[in-house]
Amino acid sequence: SAAEKGGFDWFMRKEIYDQPKAVADTLLGRHDASGALRLDEIRIAPEELRAVDKIIVIACGTSFYAGMVAKYAIEHWTRIPCEVELASEFRYRDPIVGPTTLVVSISQSGETADTLMAIRHAREQKAKVLAICNTNGSTIPRESDAVIYTHAGPEIGVASTKGFLTQLVACYLLGLYLAQVRGTKFSDEIALLIDELDKIPAAIERQLGDLDGVLQLAADFADAPSVLFLGRHVGYPVALEGALKLKELAYIHAEGFAAGELKHGPIALIEDQLPVFVVMPPPGRDLVHDKVISNIQEIRARGARTIVLAEEGDEVAAPYADVMITLPKVPTLLQPLVAIVPLQVFACELATRKGHDVDQPRNLAKSVTVE
Ligand code: G6P
C-alpha cells in the first residue's frame, strides 16, 4: 500500500530516499568519539587478522560491485592482496584458499545459493569467512565465522539500492578496521576517514533534494535503445552498477566499461546520440582525471551525448559535458557512495516512465536460492 511505501510510488524509490538513514545506521556505534573502530562483532581475534595474507571477496549481482569497490579500499589501506570474485565462479576453479585467507562474502539477503556454496567451499579449505549481510540470522552469516551486519532495514525492491550503499559502508569499515589492527594506517588518518564517512548521510540528503536534472534525463532518454556507462578506479564498479540498474528495471541494453578500455573495443559502439554516462574521478587524482577527460572528448567527437557525473567545482570536466550531474566532494575511495545515487534515480524514473513494475522487474527474484 501507499502507506507502506511512505507515500512513494515504489518501495525502490522509498529505499533510495532511505539511504541517508541506512548509511548512518550502519555507521552507528561502530567507532568511538576519537574515531577508533569498534567492531567487536568480528569474532576473529586480532592475531588471526594480523596473520591474514590474502582476502577474497565473493558475491553476486549488485553485492559483487560493492566487492569490487572493497578491493580498491582494502588493498590501499591494508596492503593485503585482495581479490574479488563472482560467487558462481569461485569454487569451480579450484581457488587457492587456506587458513590464512580471509574470505569476505557480501549478500544483502544472506540466502543467495551461489554465495552460500562458495563460503562452504572456503570453510572446507579452512579459510576464515566473514559475512557482510543485511538479514539477521540468515543462512550465510549463520555459516560464517563472523559477520558485519549492514543496518539498511528490510529491502523490498528487487533491485538493491540502500543494500548496496550499506554494503559499501561495511566494506570501508572492514578495511579501516584491518588497517587499525595491522597498523598499516595512522590512527589520525583512520579517524579522518571515519569523519568523512559520518558526513556522507548529509551529502546524500542534499543530492536527493536536487534531482530535477536526473528526472529530466530520464524523460529525455526514455526511448534510448542502449546506454553506456564509463568509469575508472572506483568509478568503474559504479559504471557497472549503473548499467545493471538500467537493465534490471528499464529492460534497456546497458553496459558499463572501465574508461581506459574504451579504446580497446567499446569505442566502436559509440554513435550519434548514444547516451554515455561518465563517472569522473575527483580532480587532482594524479593523471586519471585527465585521462577520463580525453575519453569524454573521444565520445563527444563521435556524436554521443555525454552525461558527466563530476565533483562540484570540477571546472575542467564541465565544458565537455552535454549534461552535468554534480557530486558532493568526498574522498576518492568513498565516491561510489554518492556517485551511484543519481544513477539509481535515473533507472527508477526511466522504468516508471516506461510503465514497468519497478519493485518486481520481470524474470528477477530478490534472493536467488538456486545455483
Ligand atoms: C539477485 C537480486 C540482485 C542481488 C543479487 C545478490 O540477483 O536480484 O538485486 O544483487 O541477487 O543478492 P544478495 O542477497 O546475495 O546480495
Pocket lining for ligand 1, CB < 6 angstroms:
60-63, 107-109, 112, 115, 158-160, 364, 366-368
In angstroms, the CA 308 to CA 323 distance is 6
Catalytic site includes residue 366? yes
Burial 198-234 (b: 16+ CB within 10 A, else e): eebbebbbebeeebeebbebbeebeebeebbbbbbbb
Say how many Å lie between the CA of residue 106 and the centre of ligand 1. Answer: 10
Cell numbers describing residue 222: 526514455
CB 167 within 8 A of CB 106: yes
Catalytic residue among 21, 247, 329, 366: 366
Q: Is 12 helix (H, G, I), strand (E, B) or coil?
A: helix
pLDDT of residue 42: 85
Per DSSP, the residues of 217-234 read HHHHTTT-SEEEEEE-TT
Q: Please name the residue whose Cα sits nearest to atom 8 of ligand 1.
A: 366
Cell numbers describing residue 264: 580497446
Of ligand 1's atoms, which has the minimum distance to the CA of residue 87? 15
Say how many Å lie between the CA of residue 369 and the centre of ligand 1. Answer: 10
In angstroms, the CA 104 to CA 132 distance is 7
Neighbours of 260 (CB within 10 A): 15
Q: Please name the residue whose Cα sits nearest to atom 2 of ligand 1.
A: 366
Q: Please name the residue whose Cα sits nearest to atom 15 of ligand 1.
A: 107
- The residue written with cell numbers 580525453 in the block is 294
The one-letter code for the residue type at 368 is V
pLDDT of residue 46: 92
Q: Probe ligand 1: pick from 58, 119, 366, max atoms within 8 Å of CB?
A: 366
Question: For the chain, first and last CA: distance in Å?
Answer: 33
Non-local (6+) Cβ contacts of 51 within 8 A are 100
The one-letter code for the residue type at 72 is Y
Q: Please name the residue whose Cα sits nearest to atom 11 of ligand 1.
A: 367
CA 324 to chain centre: 21
In angstroms, the CA 252 to CA 243 distance is 9
Cell numbers describing residue 209: 533534494
Beta strand pairing status for 128-133 and 101-107? parallel
In angstroms, the CA 163 to CA 262 distance is 30
Q: Probe ligand 1: pick from 11, 57, 62, max atoms within 8 Å of CB?
A: 62
CB 157 within 8 A of CB 365: no
Say how many Å lie between the CA of residue 297 and the centre of ligand 1. Answer: 35
Say how many Å lie between the CA of residue 282 and the centre of ligand 1. Answer: 29
Neighbours of 247 (CB within 10 A): 17
Of ligand 1's atoms, which has the minimum distance to the CA of residue 163? 16
**For residue 86, what are the CA distances in angstroms to 115, 191, 294?**
8, 32, 31
Say how many Å lie between the CA of residue 136 and the centre of ligand 1. Answer: 16
Say how many Å lie between the CA of residue 323 and the centre of ligand 1. Answer: 31
**Helix locations, 183-308, DSSP H:** 187-208, 212-220, 235-250, 288-301
Question: Within a 13 Å sphere around the CA of 130, how many CA atoms are in the beta-carbon half?
Answer: 29
pLDDT of residue 287: 76
CB 83 within 8 A of CB 72: no
pLDDT of residue 186: 87
pLDDT of residue 359: 87
What number is the ipTM of this complex? 0.95
Cα 235–Cα 236–Cα 240 angle in degrees, nearest 5: 115
Q: Probe ligand 1: pick from 119, 140, 144, 160, max atoms within 8 Å of CB?
A: 160
pLDDT of residue 285: 65
CB 343 within 8 A of CB 277: yes
* Tens of pLDDT, residue by residue, the chain (371 residues): 777 898 899 999 999 999 999 999 999 999 998 889 998 788 889 999 999 999 999 999 999 999 999 999 999 999 999 999 999 999 999 999 999 999 999 999 999 999 999 999 999 999 999 999 999 999 999 999 999 999 999 999 889 999 999 999 999 999 999 999 999 998 999 999 999 999 999 999 999 999 999 999 999 999 999 999 999 999 999 999 999 999 999 999 999 999 999 999 888 899 999 999 999 999 976 679 999 999 999 999 999 999 999 999 999 988 889 999 999 999 999 999 999 999 999 999 999 999 999 888 888 888 888 89
